[in-house]
Amino acid sequence: LVAASGGYMMACVADKLLAAPFAYVGSIGVVGGSPNVHKVLERAGVEVVQRTSGRFKRSLQQFEPNTPEGLQKYQEEIDAIHAAFKGHVSTNRPSLDIEAVATGESWLALHALEQGLVDGLCTADAYLRTRSADAAVLLVRAKPPRRTGLAALLSRGVEGAASAAAALAELAGAGRGLASQLSSRLRPSASLAGQGLASGAASGASPTEAPPS
């Protein structure tokens, strides 16, 4: 399980934060980047035309060389997001030494407990079993989205084909049952006919003739 970065941002608002012992927790940091392919384009003789309105509309470049000013601006934007992230965590967990944990590092919950990032170690199953003694535990499932248009048409076609296949399978099963019943009823007749033939052969009579009186 991972509750790091954005996961921890959401989790830290809880009144009590529990984590499985081997969950990954933390990563209070920000990362950003983009590939720059202007040298590849130059070698291929490709020119990219780009125009912006606003001094820092494109602080990080992909098709043109980056500038020191643009890179500095991009770093300032990342730092601003990091400061907001730290403020959010500090507001919800004021006892944390935010500067010690907001380094972008992640810890196993075993060690995150020592840092104060979580309040206890417990798996989800164990927690639910504990709470089931004094509270109702409900299983909630998402309702499947209602299909419309082509999706609904295809769904009905698939469901119809499945129903037809089930009906054919049931019919085939009934046919096998009927054949079995007919076979069991015909066996005594065949046995009697066989006995008649055997009797005729023993008396020397033709199977089609009655023995002489």
Closest CA to 106 of 30, 26, 6: 26
Higher pLDDT, 154 or 64: 64
Rounded mean pLDDT of 143-149? 77
Residue 61, SS3 per DSSP: coil
CA-based diameter of the chain, in Å?
Answer: 129
pLDDT computed for residue 198 by the predictor: 52
Matching residue, tokens 């037809």: 164
Interacting residues of 74 by C-beta distance below 8 A, sequence separation 6+ = 32, 59, 60
Q: In this structure, what DSSP letter does residue 104 have?
A: S
pLDDT computed for residue 11 by the predictor: 94
- pLDDT band, residue 213 (cuts 50/70/90): very low
CA 6/CA 27 separation, integer angstroms: 8
Kindly report, residue by residue over 6-34, the tens digit of the pLDDT.
Answer: 999 999 999 999 999 999 999 999 999 99
Q: Is the pLDDT of residue 162 over 80?
A: no
Rounded mean pLDDT of 180-193? 62
Rounded mean pLDDT of 175-189? 68
The mean pLDDT value of the chain amounts to: 83
CA 178/CA 198 separation, integer angstroms: 31
Q: Is the pLDDT of residue 210 over 50?
A: no
pLDDT computed for residue 186 by the predictor: 66
Q: In this predicted structure, which of 10-24, 57-71, 73-87, 179-193 has the lowest mean pLDDT?
A: 179-193
User: Could you count the other beta carbons within 10 Å of the beta carbon of residue 208?
Assistant: 6
The radius of gyration computed from the CA coordinates of the chain, to the nearest angstrom, equals 40
- pLDDT band, residue 97 (cuts 50/70/90): very high
Q: Is the pLDDT of residue 182 over 80?
A: no
Enumerate the active-site residues: 5, 57
Interacting residues of 89 by C-beta distance below 8 A, sequence separation 6+ = 8, 9, 12, 28, 96, 98, 101, 102
Q: Could you tell me if 112 and 26 are in contact, meaning their C-beta atoms sit under 8 angstroms apart?
A: yes
pLDDT computed for residue 207 by the predictor: 47
- pLDDT band, residue 36 (cuts 50/70/90): very high
- pLDDT band, residue 208 (cuts 50/70/90): very low
Higher pLDDT, 127 or 158: 127
Tokens found for residue 180:
């079995």
Q: Is the pTM of this model over 0.75?
A: no
pLDDT computed for residue 194 by the predictor: 53
Closest CA to 32 of 97, 99, 79, 95: 79
